[in-house]
Structure 1
């Protein structure tokens, strides 16, 4: 089971100024446009269920979780505008996944800047066939410990919706605009910061243990720097010890995907979080994703058969819960 993939429809209504639009170059290729600027070239595997299923079969993947592409979140827009866009894309996601039956499981998007609207849209989507929700890791300067975001996460726990957190809207600067540095350094840092917000912001102390939440890209740089965080919590308690317990206490409250591309990095995740907290992911179908999906997990010689089976599927089955029923 691959818990980290994305979709883009082959077309959508005009969303108005400032929203992405799609330049369709052929039956199999298109470009996501931001105004007159190219944002990302995409292919039919973004919207064509048959293309996805063929790649899944080639990679030995039985089920994909299909999540939005974060550029469409629109958290910087008015809540009603973001809700309108979320409804459009959520309905299109169902159309994309429907031909594949239960092999493609759609996660919805919500207007996270408006907690009440976000909760209502999640409920609508769960009733319509979505099995969970993907959220961005921040709303402007509001991180995941923002009161409104916590309200939404509590609702996810109450209705049993798994949450996938994806970094987005990374900082820009001349230094970060080279070499895709926003994706290569900014994304891991954003995800690390989000996990810090969940811990030091007291979110895990305020939301039920039943919340199922997973962070993309192996949790960013969090696992590598847990020791630094733990040291700071104890040695600078006047500033850092804002959670009820030390950071290591919360390691069983969240999961990460396996999109780290290197068995040494995967070993660190397993050593720090445990094999039960890592799930196979690929970031399919984008160029910075892993192909074949799950390859690093399959080839990791430090995993025994039980741990490998858990990462490749068992953990995701638990994360998705009744969605697989």
Structure 2
């Protein structure tokens, strides 16, 4: 029996009013504006951020899209605009509790098909650990985080402490790039999304490897990087070459970057069969999860099309389309 088709990278922005958004205590609070034509707008304070469709907040629309595209299960995570990392930590903790409650309610429309991930106030490690513990107990299957908070990346001591806690409570971690570096040099054409996201993800992964953070983290940690690992898989040879040739590069890590490929997974959101084949060659078919970035326009319109076009082995296709996600997110009770 083949495993279900599981989309591990799909976003939600629950219906949150501006008044509720103001609880964050920031000037550009995130909230959702519903428009008369059935569409919506993600808002930051009084400014329009991005137009969105109903699948982002309406579970019926989400489920209809899943039926139309052959997706059995979606792992649902918040839109990164909602992270709240710039807010005071206590306000961010209350905000995350609200968001997590709304995500649970959204997924309750079809609990066998919609799998919730929580978000946490990552700017405060103690509150973040408390939040993920409570969220897992409430029914979340893991946690969705940004790849950095300000200048602190996941190799920072507090971040390593949080990731260690996630391993201890059995919470898988989906890492999403956000607040992209160099945005002031990439005006127009969505270049921060096209270039910055890939760079942010590679930067995070290399920092974890070269800083020795992977050597300190528990091997039981389930860690997945969105967007195919960004630039990392395609520039891995460059990083390994530098590690072997320069003591400055290898000063803090026991192994070259390629020595840590068994410590994380990536999603399949690379949009080109040739790129996916290289990704699978680098990572192994058992470390790639189907991911579409639903329901945003830069996502894969029919989740799994690139996997079916790019991966010849039926066994490898089954792993990527759903088999890997069943184990990663503890989905054995989902169809």
When the two structures are superposed, what TM-score results if normalisation uses the length of structure 2? 0.93
Q: Work out which of the residue numbers 14, 27, 45 in structure 2 matches 1:9.
A: 14
1:308 correspondence with 2:313: no
Structure 1 residue 254, shift from structure 2 partner: 0.5
Farther off after superposition, 12-21 or 92-101: 12-21
Aligned length: 324
Aligned partner of 2:3 in structure 1 is: none
Q: How does 1:236-275 map to 2 (within 5 A)?
A: 236-275=246-285
Structure 1 residue 307, shift from structure 2 partner: 0.4
1:202 correspondence with 2:207: no
Q: How does 1:137-156 map to 2 (within 5 A)?
A: 137-156=147-166
Contact persistence 1:131–1:323 (CA under 8 A): no
Structure 1 residue 58, shift from structure 2 partner: 1.2
Structure 1 residue 193, shift from structure 2 partner: 0.5
CA separation in 1, counterparts of 2:284 and 2:323? 14
Q: Secondary structure of 1:164's match?
A: strand
Over 3 Å counting, the alpha-carbon distance change for 1:174 and 1:14 in structure 2 is: closer
Residues 59-113 of structure 1, C-alpha deviations (whole Å, 9 max, x = no match): 1111000001011111122211211111111101011110112200010000111
Aligned partner of 2:69 in structure 1 is: 59
Aligned partner of 1:176 in structure 2 is: 186
Contact persistence 2:181–2:200 (CA under 8 A): no
Q: How does 1:96-245 map to 2 (within 5 A)?
A: 96-245=106-255
Which runs of 5 or more residues in structure 2 are unaligned?
1-5
Structure 1 residue 10, shift from structure 2 partner: 2.0
Contact persistence 2:210–2:249 (CA under 8 A): no
Residues 31-74 of structure 1, C-alpha deviations (whole Å, 9 max, x = no match): 11123321111121011111111111111111000001011111
Q: How does 1:43-58 map to 2 (within 5 A)?
A: 43-58=53-68
Aligned partner of 1:25 in structure 2 is: 35
CA separation in 2, counterparts of 1:95 and 1:226? 41
Q: Work out which of the residue numbers 318, 326, 329 in structure 2 matches 1:320.
A: 329
CA separation in 2, counterparts of 1:246 and 1:173? 30
Contact persistence 2:250–2:256 (CA under 8 A): no
Structure 1 residue 30, shift from structure 2 partner: 1.4
CA separation in 2, counterparts of 1:248 and 1:148? 25
Q: Secondary structure of 1:4's match?
A: strand
Structure 1 residue 174, shift from structure 2 partner: 4.6
CA separation in 2, counterparts of 1:54 and 1:322? 21
Over 3 Å counting, the alpha-carbon distance change for 1:14 and 1:226 in structure 2 is: closer
When the two structures are superposed, what TM-score results if normalisation uses the length of structure 1? 0.96
Which runs of 5 or more residues in structure 1 are unaligned?
none
Q: What is the root-mean-square deviation in Å for CA atoms of aligned residues?
A: 1.4
Farther off after superposition, 207-216 or 8-17: 8-17
CA separation in 1, counterparts of 2:332 and 2:86? 31
CA separation in 1, counterparts of 2:61 and 2:173? 26
